Amino acid sequence: MFQDISLPDLLASKEKETHTLVDVRSPKEFNEATIPGSINIPIFNDEERAEVGTIYKQQGVEAAKERGLQIFSQKLPAFIAEFKQIETPMTVFCWRGGMRSKTAATVLELMGIRANRLMGGIRTYRQWVVQELENQQFKPKLFVLNGYTGSGKTAILQRLSKHGYPVIDLEKMAGHRGSIFGQIGLEPSNQKKFDSLLISEIRRYQDEPFVFIEGESKRIGKVYLPPFLNEKKENSLQLFLHLPVEERVRNILEDYQPWEYPHHFEEAFQLIKKRIHTPIAKQIEEALESHDFALAIKLLLEYYYDPKYEYSTKHYPDKQRITIEAATTDDAFQKILQMVKVSNQHSN
């Protein structure tokens, strides 16, 4: 018989040894939110799950079970074959630790494949995440990376991470770049997915002396920062990057690649058009329509984003600010490394 495992025991087991978590829910459910690091081996695909759900509502539980068994029995060999490729201890889970994970664990047991089942499913994990975020005390100090739009903050965070520095990339977890055009070309996260990724990163870096983070607002796309992290961010050391506008335009073009989604950019611009002086707004609109994205971005920076940025950063006192003047993103990165080196020397 397979063994049920509690969430605390599962988390402890994951810290001791490599452990594979398998989400047996549908791909849509998996993409909406799962336990970070899990893989998806679904019992039903999205269409099959919808069909079984409809039968359950219209004909009742027994009819739904019968149809579910018909569907699953046909895909059983492929289902088992995927699990046979897993070489570590494993735990399966569904939404509530109910029929789907029980079916998966039972079938695997019959085939000689040992798998635990997470008690309470991902719902229990979600409850734990919410509780953790409400009671969290994040110990490391933060270096908060700020800068005018296009200053290469995300690229610098990625480079810092590659060099082994602890980084929490909020925009990556949110699936949003933090501007009116920020979701274009990305898949925005919902709050459940964001919270799960965030608590995983927080636990990962809890014992680090410092962590780099980007200076985001409380809301990033569709998600919100938990109050404890937003408050700590606001009270931490703020690094302000100053790059030439031409360099910032290049960074934005490289990051957003507006020529790939021209109509999305035109549509997004309509949301802020009224906030820009009419002649300038007309100029930006014409530049977007003619695919002169460099001009459109330059005008947006000068007449929309830069004034907003200057207003939002005025409340930080001088002792909480470090200004980094740089010619390029690479130059800014090197100066940040030097700043960290000096900071570590002082703290030692």
Best CA proximity match to 84, nearest among 20, 37, 7, 18: 20
Q: Which one of 94, 105, 156, 202 is the catalytic residue?
A: 94
94 belongs to the catalytic site:
yes
Name 105's Cβ contacts closer than 8 Å, sequence gap at least 6.
2, 92, 115, 116, 117
Name 217's Cβ contacts closer than 8 Å, sequence gap at least 6.
178, 312
DSSP 258: G
The beta strands (E) that lie in 200-247 are given as: 210-214, 219-220, 223-224, 237-242
Question: Whole-angstrom distance between the N-terminal and C-terminal Cα of the chain?
Answer: 55
255 alpha-carbon distance from chain centroid: 17
Q: In terms of C-beta density within 10 A (0-12 exposed, 13-18 middle, 19 or more buried), how is residue 326 classed?
A: buried
The CA distance from 273 to 267, in Å, is: 10
Longest Cα pair distance anywhere in the chain, in angstroms?
73
Q: Which residues are catalytic?
A: 94
